[in-house]
Structure 1
Amino acid sequence: MTRDLIGYGGEWPDLRWPNGARLAVSVVVNLEEGAEQQVGDGDPQSERMGEVMSVVPPGVRDMGQEQIFAYGTRAGLWRMLEALDRHAIPATFLMCGRAVQRAPALAGAVAAAGHEAAVHGWLWRPHADYTSREAEAADLARCAETIGAATGQRPEGFFCRGAESRWTRGLLEEQGFTYTSNAFDDDLPYRDPAHPGLVVVPYALDTNDMKFFHPNGFVRAGEMVEYVSDALDVLLAEAERGRPRLLNIGYHLRIAGRPGRFRAFEGVLEQLAALRDRLWLARRAEIARAFAVAVLPGG
């Protein structure tokens, strides 16, 4: 794959989103719990990153880490679903296949609340780890099938931890996906010329609660709210100057679902609700389809 360091080159399409706004906002919630690697689940190693770095020796079951993840689905999910409903904010839930397989009723509750279910890999792992095209294709297919059975939705989108493999985008095209989100390089969707059947809907790791788990990131919940507010201010100003934009805001059930960090979720939802008439709040599949209709036919 040749790196594209130019993108739109400062010449953005004359795009308005379906409600007439220039700025689209995508709220993303990651449902990974039960799909992280755990020795207790038969995986060769346990996930090291959580509230603290695990001190359990490699190859030994880490029940503490299992419980840190389980908090997300046992408690965080319901707190976050209720807030999304109260503020009438649509979201895309990135779902790992094994997580859905183990708790299909939870994925069903997400879909019943009106949110999009997208593929986040079978396991919470980089797809760059795959050593064969066939293995990755099989995991993509069973992930989509498992999510579809639990939610009644055929997933249209994909995003994995870390990075795609060299086969991922071709496989997504073959399996009928609408978009991929493994891209951090733009403020607007675009087309990958090598894979014209897909819309690339970029994601972001700065406006993301995972930074609570990194030493150069957020500490207090209000810090994320302020950071997202600054991003909204900049992108709204650019939108008012005629430049179409997309803002991605990412959350995790076990991170922002905790009471001490929940304000990082609800405070942002409050801002988005207050700005509703200046934004297009949409699920990622809707963003991909709207972009394809408005921009891609003309190249």
Structure 2
Amino acid sequence: MSGDEANTDVTRPRDLIGYGRRVPRVVWPDDAKVAVNFVINYEEGSEHYERLGDRSTDRMAELNWYLPSPHRDFAMEAVYEYGSRAGIWRLLNIFGDYSVPVTFFATGMALERNREVAAAIGELGHEPCSHGYRWSEPWHMSREEEAEQIQRAIESIRETTGTRPVGWYWRYSSTPWTRQLLVDDGGFLYDSETYNDDLPYFTDVSGHRHLVIPYTQTYNDTRFAVAEGGFGSPTDFYDYMRRGLDELHREGEAGFPKMMTVGLHARLAGQAARANAVREFIEYALDKGDVWFARRDAIANWWIDHSADWS
């Protein structure tokens, strides 16, 4: 069965209920009211690119134009190069200024092409989480092909960073069997293949208790690169993050602490004005207090070790 055929499979049921009225009274370290996780999506050099055999070159950038095939789009390439050459270091310097650990949703190919970034992830205390080997479309894969891609990404990230990733996030939608493959591998603490909650939760995968830590497209700088519903300025981005933290913090003070994820890309948030909004948000959260800045694997381990006490 091909990936295209399999993606119509309905064996993974939807869950529209979740915690419902029974939201757990989470206790984060130091009684924090909100756990904040920054994710840097490090993909530069692994994006869709005709010269790598893809159907088209990626257009998720800030340019208002693109060159049609078969012309090489040097302008689009340059946007991604900025992230790898300059933006990533600006973000890492900012997080270093405040000793904030982050999670890298990193593709294996991107880290192979910039090993200095790969080395910095471990040296600076950040988490490598697998974002696949490159920008793949798993729904076109068979189960066996997806399993091979998962293993290729694991080995690539382990080789470049010195650490095996324990989390997984495809850039695009997962397949009905992605979670089963991650569980079968046995080395994953969690996946982030959904956007459906403000808290981690366990799900059953063939009788195995598997942890899901939802991701976000809401507090995400990709909205600088979309026309409708996007951020118009760094002030918009900061205000959106601040308002989200304020409301989640209020819920935490009422006895129901939550988690907040902020998604960043070096080619977008790595630009100076936007990076300043990230800095301002960190300072705001520190001034507010009772915020736990944490890597995703730290949140996973805390949840696994303590969640039984909250149920």
Instruction: Give the TM interval when normalised to the shorter protein.
Output: over 0.9
CA–CA distance in 2 between the matches of 1:262 and 1:281? 17
- 1:213 corresponds to which residue? 225
Tell me, yes or no, if structure 1 residue 174 matches structure 2 residue 184: yes
**Which residue in the other structure is 2:29 paired with?**
18
SS in 2 for 1:192: strand
- Residue in structure 2 matched with residue 243 of structure 1 by the alignment: 256
Instruction: Give, in whole Å, the separation in 2 of the partners of 1:79 and 1:110.
Output: 14
Bigger mean CA offset, 247-256 vs 13-22: 13-22
1:79 alignment partner in structure 2:
90
Which amino acid in the other structure matches residue 213 of structure 1? Answer: A
- Which stretch shows the higher mean deviation, 68-77 or 169-178? 169-178
2:195, 2:111 → 1: CA distance? 26
1:60, 1:45 → 2: CA distance?
A: 11
Q: How many residues align?
A: 297
Write the distance in 2 (CA, Å) between the matches of 1:30 and 1:296.
Answer: 31
What does residue 147 of structure 1 align with? 157
SS of the aligned residue for 2:47 comes to: coil
Task: Quote the offset at 1:165 in angstroms.
Answer: 1.0
2:3 corresponds to: none
Q: Deviations over 1:170-210 (max 9, x none)?
A: 11112221111111111100011236442100111111111
Segment drifting more, 44-53 vs 160-169 = 44-53
Aligned to 2:198: 187
Q: Secondary structure at the match of 1:260?
A: helix
1:95 to 106, 109, 132: 106
1:198 counterpart SS class: strand
TM-superposed CA distance for 1:298, in Å, is 8.4
State how far apart, in whole Å, the 2-side matches of 1:53 and 1:137 are: 37
| Residues 197 and 108 (structure 1), Cα distance of their counterparts in 2 relative to 1, 3 Å cut | farther
User: Among residues 16, 34, 44, which one is paired with 1:33 in the alignment?
Assistant: 44
SS in structure 1 at match of 2:31: coil
Q: In the alignment, what sits opposite 2:304?
A: 292
1:228 and 2:236 aligned: no
1:124 to partner: Cα distance = 2.1
- Whole-angstrom CA distance in 1 between matches of 2:279 and 2:199: 25
Q: Which amino acid aligns with 2:223?
A: K
Distance of 1:11 and 1:31 partners within structure 2: 36
For each residue in 1:145-181, what CA deviation from the matched residue of structure 2 results, as whole angstroms up to 9, or x when unmatched?
A: 1111111111011112121111211111122211111
The answer (yes or no) to whether the contact 1:44–1:59 under 8 Å persists in 2 is: no
Query: Unpaired runs of 5+ in structure 2?
Result: 1-11
- Conserved in 1, the CA contact under 8 Å of 2:26 and 2:310? no
Q: Which residue of 1 aligns with 2:81?
A: 70
State the SS of the aligned residue for 1:262.
helix
**Aligned-CA RMSD value:** 1.7
Matches within 5 A, 1:195-206: 196-206=208-218
Q: TM-score, normalised by structure 1?
A: 0.94
**2:23/2:256 contact within 8 Å kept:** yes
Q: Is 2:116 the partner of 1:105?
A: yes
TM-score, normalising length: structure 2: 0.90
Alignment-derived partner of residue 146 in structure 2 = 136
Q: Residue 45 of structure 1 contacts residue 59 of structure 1 at CA under 8 Å; is this kept in 2?
A: no
Distance 2:205 2:240 in 1: 35
C-alpha distance in 2 between matches for 1:53 and 1:262:
22
Which residue does the alignment assign to 1:267? Answer: 280
* 2:245 alignment partner AA: L
